[in-house]
Amino acid sequence: MTASSLKPSRSLFRLPGFLSVMDRYIIGELILPFLFGVGAFSSLGVSVGALFELIRRVTESGLPLSIALQVLSLRFPEFIAYAFPMSTLLATLMTYSRLSSDSELIALKASGVSVVRLMVPALIVCLAVTGLTFAFNELIVPAANYRATITLARALDEEDPPFQENNILFQEFQSVKQEDGDRRDELTRLFYAREFDGQQMKALTILDFTQEGLSQIVSAKAAQWNTAQKTWDFSEGTIYVVSPDGAFRNIVKFDNQQLQLPRTPLDLASRRRDYNEMNIAQSMDYLQVLQQSGDTDKIRKLKVRIQQKYALPFVCVSFGLVGAALGASLERAGKATGFAISIVIIFSYYLLAVVSGSIAQVGTIPPVVGAWLPNIFGLVAAIWLIRRSSR
């Protein structure tokens, strides 16, 4: 058997003509196991992650079956996106192990095709699935998850108001140069409102540190954001001007007063989507709001999630190359063996992803390292397996 005798007749899909016969043949062999994996893994994921909970809601909370089915359909895109990397691993592992057990890889190697060259079709499929995964996670999954959350909450009368009702706290920081030349973030303003009804902040207290020492305290009954003039309109309040030594220098009472303060407290009080309900652009917008608040824990967590949104699609490349290299070295591995190996690799990857992500969220390692570390390990493992198969 030679490389020229391979024909892509078994493929049900037409592939680009610029690919070689060998490439089209192997890619054609990869497609059906990949589709099988998408169906199997997404069905398993939605059953564990959504179906059982919805059944409980139907039986215990009286959720209408039609709403449950609607929510289930809206949750499917998320699990399909999760299934893409896993299906890539399964497809490459099963396809290359079958080619090895049927001695087709031996024939190709005897024709002068290197192991690295044999990995090219797998890499092409991996890159295509990476783009597909990224598109799903950005264009479909966040909107579908958000719609599922709103639909379920409305059906159960558990929908939260579209804003934070109590205890709105905003801390504004400014980078200040120290005597040693280093820069450090220092608190310049603290904004607190006890209540928010969607339009007005109520029972406000603002501490202003923009000058040396505490320079101003504002206490007001209510405040509302003025969209036209981009200021806050305060009502029924008092301004306390404080000297650097702590003595009151002046006290001014007012019925109505406009103050030039950031809009950020209103942004913080507005209801935000969950991390899985935002795409990268929405997450970056929210990050800008959080950075003005100075909440380092939330900022770090969001930075890790943003990097994970970039890293997740590229795990398809790591999984695909690992599966291809490992499958090429398994001469008599059946489908059950390939599926079992895939489960072990997937579990190991996601365990490492959870651990590294958690370490990054506490600040031990940078967010980019915590998000991309599992992918790096996967690529290193793939390179090692390919070099081992080339010997």
Q: What is the tens place of the pLDDT at every residue in 176-192?
A: 777 777 777 777 888 88
Average pLDDT over residues 363-390: 88
pLDDT at 10 over 50: no
Mean pLDDT score across all residues of the chain = 83
- Whether 88 and 125 have beta carbons less than 8 Å apart is answered as yes
Q: Residues 86, 306, 283, CA angle at the centre, nearest 5°?
A: 125
Taking the CB of residue 129, how many other CB atoms lie within 10 A of it?
23
pLDDT-derived band at 171 (thresholds 50, 70, 90) equals confident
**What proportion of the chain, given as a percentage, has pLDDT over 90?**
28
Average pLDDT over residues 204-214: 78
Average pLDDT over residues 350-362: 91
13 phi, psi to nearest 5 deg: -125, 140
Q: What separation, in Å, do the N-terminal and C-terminal C-alpha atoms of the chain show?
A: 22
* More reliable by pLDDT, 142 or 49: 142
pLDDT of 141 reads: 93
pLDDT at 332 over 60: no
Average pLDDT over residues 160-166: 65
**Of the listed ranges 98-102, 105-109, 175-179, 299-303, the one predicted with least confidence:** 175-179
Question: What is the pTM for the complete model shown?
Answer: 0.73
Domain ranges, ordered by start, for the chain = 3-158+306-390, 166-269
- Which of 103, 119, 117 is closest to 2 using CA atoms? 103
pLDDT of 213 reads: 61
Average pLDDT over residues 337-344: 76
pLDDT of 246 reads: 67
Handedness of CA 20, 21, 25, 31 (dihedral sign): positive
Distance CA 214, CA 319 (A): 57
pLDDT-derived band at 8 (thresholds 50, 70, 90) equals very low
Q: 128-144 pLDDT, tens per residue?
A: 999 999 999 999 999 99
Question: How many Cα atoms within 13 Å fall on the side-chain side of residue 235?
Answer: 8
pLDDT of 137 reads: 93
pLDDT of 316 reads: 93
Dump strand ranges (E) for 178-279. Answer: 183-196, 200-208, 216-226, 231-242, 248-259
* More reliable by pLDDT, 3 or 331: 331
Distance CA 342, CA 327 (A): 11
Those residues with Cβ within 8 angstroms of residue 35's Cβ, 6 or more apart along the chain or in another chain: 87
Q: 51-105 pLDDT, tens per residue?
A: 888 888 888 888 888 888 998 999 999 999 999 999 999 999 888 888 888 888 8
